[in-house]
Structure 1
Amino acid sequence: MALLTITPPAEEPIDLNLVKTHVRVDGAEEDALLQGFIAAARASVEAYTRRSLVARVVEFHRDDLPSRIMLPAAPVQSVDAVSIEDGDGVVTGLPEGSWRLLGHLTPAYLVPAAGTYWPSAGSRIEGGVRIRMTVGYGAAQDVPGDLRTALLLYVAHLYQNREGGLPAGDRMPLTVSALLAPHILWS
């Protein structure tokens, strides 16, 4: 149930100048390297917590339409479209307003709107149910401070250990994983 990014984040949760100050780098020689570490750390943190940090549009595919669909990412800002592909390859979008996002729950759920039901046939092909949604906290400044701090520490760790000679099992520093622990999306 992998998420497919439709529209990537417009910015990173932490900016290059903050990272350069933290790791005590002057000049622009290391900018590309540090920007790569910022993106890698963000991707790693998002995979570890199953949370999107900065807003993006994603889509995931299911085989069926149960009465209550757990959404595999957090936080979910909105469900933008739900569509079903039939056995002939025809994709039909469900009318807007035919679903309800239970975004106050973690993880969030998608259910039929009050008084409505999902189509009984669902999809007869693998991955034929597509749910497009906007996920993430919003802009970079909307990301919780402890997540931004974890990212900053992780980028510094990657920069200081860029040769990759870490002992087995030392993939993420303990302080970083401790900051991330309360944000892990369990299902």
Structure 2
Amino acid sequence: MMLIEETAPAAEALPVAALRAHLRLAQGFDGPDDAAETTALAGFLRAAIATIEGRTGKVLLTRRFRMQLDDWRDRLGQSLPLAPVHSVERIEIDDGAGTVAVLPAESWRLLPDTQRPIILPAGVILPNVPRLGFVTVTFTAGFGSSWSDVPADLAQAVILLAARYYDDRGGESARHALPFGVSALIEKWRAVRTLAGRGSREWR
């Protein structure tokens, strides 16, 4: 399985002001130092968001992803590796020889779920993927486009973790296990990640 993030969270959606307030940093000078600090805080927030999303499989801010598989894991229904999923834009099957077929929207449907969204066939099974081919699923996932859409516990976990990254900048401790408070906040959101591909055939 190959998962590609096609869009990134908008800079204005990042809770830089909340992180600045949490760290009790001065603000409002609008000078080069303040701009550099804002850029640094945004970087710590992006790193924290990536970590929390990696640990939970939940996408905090809405963006588009592309998943490539060498075959369906289960032709009765293919689970998606991230949640919550708002929509599946398209599903394409490449036969490995350069011919790409877009599956008609009426041939499948998305079963939304906060833990394990699934693409289900409209009929009995999902279409066959040629032995040397692959399938590409383009979908949009996330709690929302604004930071206020993110669940409060996950939002707080990001602020705490970004603050830790800020305090540990240049050190080694930021690479260690998550702080207990962060782990406790995300615990209920964690789910066993299901494989998105069979694993018996190598990606070509």
Using structure 1 for the length normalisation, give the TM-score.
0.89
Q: Say if 2:144 is the partner of 1:135.
A: no
Distance 1:11 1:53, change over 3 A: farther
Task: State the match for 1:103 in structure 2.
Answer: 112
Task: State the match for 1:92 in structure 2.
Answer: 101
Alignment of 1:41-80 (within 5 A): 41-65=48-72, 66-80=75-89
Determine the C-alpha separation between the residues in 2 that align with 1:12 and 1:52: 17
Q: Give 1:61 shift.
A: 1.0
CA contact (8 A) 2:92 2:136 kept: yes
Q: Say if 2:27 is the partner of 1:18.
A: no
Determine the C-alpha separation between the residues in 2 that align with 1:13 and 1:176: 21
- 1:75-117 Cα deviation digits (max 9, x unpaired): 111111111001312111001121111113621111112x464
CA contact (8 A) 2:77 2:125 kept: no
- Structure 1 counterpart of 2:186, which letter? L
Task: State the match for 1:185 in structure 2.
Answer: 191
Determine the C-alpha separation between the residues in 2 that align with 1:105 and 1:74: 6
1:60 is paired with a residue whose SS is strand
Task: State the match for 1:35 in structure 2.
Answer: 42
Structure 2 portions without partners, runs of 5+: 28-33, 195-204
Determine the C-alpha separation between the residues in 2 that align with 1:125 and 1:141: 44
2:105 is paired with a residue whose SS is coil
- How many residues of Structure 1 are paired with residues of Structure 2 in the alignment? 183
- 1:108-158 Cα deviation digits (max 9, x unpaired): 111112x46433x323225x1011111111122111000000001111111
Alignment of 1:164-183 (within 5 A): 164-166=171-173, 170-183=176-189
RMSD: 2.0
Structure 1 portions without partners, runs of 5+: none
Q: Give 1:8 shift.
A: 2.2
Larger helix percent = 2
CA contact (8 A) 1:64 1:129 kept: yes
- Structure 1 counterpart of 2:16, which letter? L
Task: State the match for 1:6 in structure 2.
Answer: 6
- 1:50-73 Cα deviation digits (max 9, x unpaired): 111111110111122322111111
Determine the C-alpha separation between the residues in 1 that align with 2:87 and 2:12: 21
Match of 1:157 among 164, 173, 177: 164
Determine the C-alpha separation between the residues in 1 that align with 2:12 and 2:130: 36
Distance 1:170 1:7, change over 3 A: closer
Determine the C-alpha separation between the residues in 2 that align with 1:162 and 1:7: 27
CA contact (8 A) 1:13 1:143 kept: no
Task: State the match for 1:118 in structure 2.
Answer: 126
CA contact (8 A) 2:108 2:121 kept: yes
